[in-house]
Structure 1
Amino acid sequence: MDWSTYDGWCWIDCYQLDDKGDAIARRSLFLMPEHVQFVPPPPPRPTPAGRKPPARKPPKVG
């Protein structure tokens, strides 16, 4: 989309992603690229620990 801007400003289109990485919402931002800072994504959430079956011991030989 060609929108007029002020000198040094620009429009960018962004997408909000769900947990699977699918786009669920579109956002249009009006910003100055020289002031944009990269923010790393948060670490993945730990998955709840499932119940593990008890470990089997090998049979004793001899």
Structure 2
Amino acid sequence: MEALAITIFLSVLLAAFFMVLFLGSRHRRGLGNEQEALMPLEDDLPPVRPGRAAKTHAADRHGS
């Protein structure tokens, strides 16, 4: 009976330890590897709205 109690106690202790480590690593990083892989690169230009790009190119063609 004592062996079963010690086994359960150690199992709960190890599970709690790994949960603390897991949550600590998630909190520290902020994003998971999958989300970080989908982030745009720093060197990319910000997206341009189609309406603004068309007006800019039209103004360049007319010499304004």
TM tier, shorter chain? under 0.3
Specify which structure has the bigger relative contact order, considering alpha-carbon pairs within 8 angstroms and separated by 6 or more residues. Answer: 1
| TM-score, normalisation: structure 2 | 0.26
More helix by share: 2
More strand by share: 1
Radius of gyration: which is bigger? 2
